[in-house]
Chains A and B, each alone.
Chain A
């Protein structure tokens, strides 16, 4: 009996083997197309790479590439700082907007299916090449600015101008920096809306997963909608705020319109300076990790978990 037990695998180890079988493709991919290239790119960043028809050669240059990125290159530092500040201003707006939109789409009204379809359209239609084209496109920018001009100077604009939000807010003596932030958000509403498709999906899924019994109980106790929102909806969805923030940060760092990204590409393929490009990419990657770490650290302390 004892020998038989030894020969046969126990259930747990059987399961473990089956599990490994399922994830084998990923392990292979991880090794060949992720970890190995990652290691290589570290090596490249300390070298100068020369490609010839029968392979490539590495010439050791030490820290020169990194030194060049920080102290020699004319605008790497500026672009880096700009793209990070851009990200930091955009992320809260995107999170707030997508949470708001998810709440809106979660209510019952006529044409909800259509509205949802349109709200998720940016996920499909504004990725990759299309958004890159759109950003540099003459006609769309022209149309948009003429549209804005019309809104400001037309007859409707005349009436609205006295009510213009910015002037109104300036008179309330709130900190002007805050006012500029809010009104700036309204000016960039399109960028914010199209960046929040996936986040709306995530929040909407979260809103649907709140057990209705919680609302029933609180309604019987006599809570108002406002109280329900802050005491039930918000805490229950708060873990997703973390998920969405992380997603938004990664998305804004890796989207093709990001200027650091385009710079890394150009250095690699137009100036064919692979080593320098790898060094830039690594600086950028480490910065992303640091920022993500800080943000996750701050938010995860305040998140409420139901279980």
Chain B
């Protein structure tokens, strides 16, 4: 009996020994856990600082007077606090108008993308039909193709918009010009082919696939139609996921300079207003004070930073509000599936 026990002891695995060691030295274990907590805190705070640093710099530059930019003793806290920059940026970005255009465009596009992507994702998740895998493969392909590849045909497509030559037959002109309106965005959003819509379809499909089928089957047995089952059974539980997708699409639409510079030339949206801001101010000084005046690069950069803050603030508010949904829903959704 005794030999058996010692044999067992002899055969203890290395990890078991380690466990015994920690068990005996519980004070040491406690301190090592604390040490790791300290290391973790340093890491988390450090990385957070790296992420927030440009934001802090932008903000502190935006409330500085121009004098402070050339003063070596001023680093992050301005000596001459001013909100003059915001006033200038407000004026030269045409902020109220650009804000409204941006807001309505992003709202319109993201709501439509949300509706179409949810429907499409549900179709892919729950029904079997011929060529399904091929078509879903194409969803992924739309993500891989850089938008620059199809940018010119799309541009021309909307410049001379026509469906099977119907408009040409009626008006005699070669299509209608849909540029400088919301139509390109509306059409692309409704058909689930807007910016990064493949990603939203993928996320939502994974979510719907993770839902138990029994719920729907019970509804079908009770005589509910397909659409009604979708609207009353599936949609309510998909709300957190949909908030996430909505947040993504709103934010990416809001910040997007690619499609908006492609389709909108006269219609002012915030990203375009921001990229033209320094130039506009420069031009204004040029007209006002004659040819020799040029804006200093530091001043231009200060204006750009102010403009960036003004672009970001609305997003920041939305993020604060939706952050909880955003983090939780991704965790639970089984995006991974």
Contact = CB atoms under 8 A, between A and B. Distances in A.
Interface of A: 12, 15-23, 25-30, 32-34, 36-38, 40-41, 44, 49, 51, 54-56, 101, 104, 107, 109, 111, 113, 115-125, 127-130, 132-134, 137-140, 143-144, 189-190, 193-194, 201-202, 204-206, 208-209, 222-224, 227, 239-240, 250, 253-254, 256, 261, 264-265, 268, 274, 277-278, 281-282, 284-285, 288-289, 292
B271 interface: yes
A277 B150 CA distance: 10
A-side interface mostly: helix
B311 A25 contact: no
A139 B298 contact: yes
A268 B135 contact: no
Given A34-B138, A120-B326, A285-B145, 17 more contacts: A19-B124, A33-B154, A33-B157, A54-B174, A111-B44, A119-B51, A122-B51, A124-B315, A128-B256, A129-B275, A133-B304, A134-B308, A205-B330, A206-B336, A222-B19, A253-B146, A256-B258
B283 interface: no
B296 to A, nearest CB: 10
B323 interface: yes
B129 interface: yes
9 contacts: A25-B190, A32-B157, A49-B152, A104-B44, A190-B54, A193-B51, A254-B147, A265-B151, A285-B145
B83 interface: no
A163 B157 CA distance: 60
A128 B257 contact: yes
B116 A26 contact: yes
B171 interface: no
Contacts of B15: 222-224, 227
Contact of A20 (B19, B129, B144, B193): B129
Contacts of A189: 50
A1 to B, nearest CB: 23
A29 to B, nearest CB: 3
Contacts of A143: 57
Interface residues of B, number: 98
B213 to A, nearest CB: 13
Top 6 A-B residue pairs of the complex, sorted by shortest distance between their CB atoms: A29-B191, A22-B123, A19-B127, A128-B255, A29-B193, A37-B153
Interface of B: 13, 15-16, 18-19, 37, 40-41, 43-44, 47-48, 50-55, 57-58, 61, 69, 116, 119-120, 122-124, 126-130, 132, 135, 138-139, 142-154, 156-157, 160, 174, 187-188, 190-193, 201, 226, 247-248, 251-252, 254-258, 271, 274-275, 297-298, 300-302, 304-305, 307-308, 311-312, 315-316, 319, 323, 326-327, 330-336
B269 to A, nearest CB: 10
Nearest to B187: A33
A274 B275 contact: no
Contact of B327 (A17, A117, A265): A117
A130 B252 contact: no
B251 A124 contact: yes
Contacts of A289: 144
A240 to B, nearest CB: 6
A129 B135 contact: no
A118 B146 contact: no
A139 B76 CA distance: 12
B330 A127 contact: no
B271 A29 contact: no
B320 to A, nearest CB: 8
B251 A104 contact: no
A208 B335 CA distance: 11
B308 to A, nearest CB: 6
B157 A37 contact: yes
Nearest to A41: B153
B331 A208 contact: yes
Nearest to A31: B191
A113 B256 CA distance: 28
Given A22-B119, A38-B150, A208-B331, A292 B144 contact: yes
A33 B312 contact: no
Chain B CB within 10 A, most for which of A21, A27, A143, A201: A143
Contact of A30 (B37, B138, B157): B138
A228 to B, nearest CB: 10
